């Protein structure tokens, strides 16, 4: 007995599958957690300081907020940087042993922290790649100082955070960075996204920690410089 194929039914099924696949291709994620693997190109991986450097960082995000959490020195040194794209504000938490500080910064004060950053130009390229399951575009940061190496910047538009890079040196990148390098306080760090976990996040993540003492941004910056100066080559 021959099996009769119902053409309209097959067509409807194909249309449904096509619609689902298209939705998956264009859908963006507006809440979740990104895990990055960290490496330090200028540091000897077998050196004395290797065990003190962080190996992972987490970025928890919503449409307009992010919190970047980092722990180093076997938990002795911890930071949590909470940013708000709409308010253009940052709450920077720093904990060193029992000392816990937090500085609230306006956009102007955030920019002052980057005053020593070399002048750079962003060059967009046609290159594409998939990182942590997300399609990414490549840009290159070129520095006016010829002695400064260029930086590859891989970013995606499938993570729907408003103006996600406003507070850093790559503010002109129009998407969430998933693979890049950044230098702060003389320390160069590479970040590679290894996992993106979409889904609702705990609102408490974005609250200022009550056990941290409020200080001026200059005080927190001085403390940061003191700590990071111990991570010598």
CB-facing half-sphere around the CA of 162: CA atoms within 13 A: 10
Report whether 93 contacts 100 (CB < 8 A): yes
Matching CATH number, 32-228, of 1.10.1740.10, 2.50.20.10, 1.20.1560.10, 1.10.3300.10: 2.50.20.10
Q: Which of 16-20, 35-39, 154-158, 182-186 has the least mean pLDDT?
A: 16-20
In DSSP terms, 120 is beta-bridged to: 143
Distance CA 138, CA 129 (A): 8
Distance CA 200, CA 33 (A): 9
The residue with greater pLDDT, 31 or 148, is 31
Residue 188: Cβ-neighbour burial (10 angstroms; 0-12, 13-18, 19+):
middle
Total-model pTM: 0.84
Distance CA 138, CA 128 (A): 6
What is the pLDDT averaged over residues 189-217?
96
Give the pLDDT confidence score for residue 232 in this predicted structure.
52
Give the pLDDT confidence score for residue 49 in this predicted structure.
64
């Amino acid at each position: 007995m021959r099996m009769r194929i119902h053409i309209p039914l097959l067509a409807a099924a194909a249309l449904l599958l096509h619609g689902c696949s298209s939705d998956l291709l264009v859908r963006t994620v507006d809440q979740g957690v990104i895990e990055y693997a960290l490496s330090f190109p200028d540091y000897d991986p077998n050196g004395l300081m290797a065990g003190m450097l962080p190996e992972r960082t987490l970025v928890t995000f919503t449409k307009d907020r992010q919190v970047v959490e980092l722990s180093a020195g076997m938990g002795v040194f911890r930071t949590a940087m909470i940013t708000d794209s709409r308010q253009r504000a940052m709450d920077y938490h720093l904990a060193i042993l029992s000392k816990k500080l937090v500085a609230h910064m306006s956009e102007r004060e955030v920019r002052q922290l980057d005053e020593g950053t070399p002048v750079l130009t962003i060059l967009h390229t046609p290159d594409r790649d998939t990182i942590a399951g997300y399609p990414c575009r490549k840009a290159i940061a070129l520095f006016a100082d010829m002695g400064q190496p260029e930086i590859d910047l891989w970013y995606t538009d499938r993570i729907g955070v408003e103006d996600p890079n406003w507070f850093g040196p790559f503010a002109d990148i129009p998407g969430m960075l998933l693979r890049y390098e950044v230098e702060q306080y003389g320390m160069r760090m590479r970040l590679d996204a290894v996992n993106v976990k979409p889904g609702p996040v705990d609102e408490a993540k974005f609250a200022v920690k009550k056990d941290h003492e409020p200080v001026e941004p200059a005080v927190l910056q001085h403390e940061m410089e003191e700590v990071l100066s111990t991570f010598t080559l």
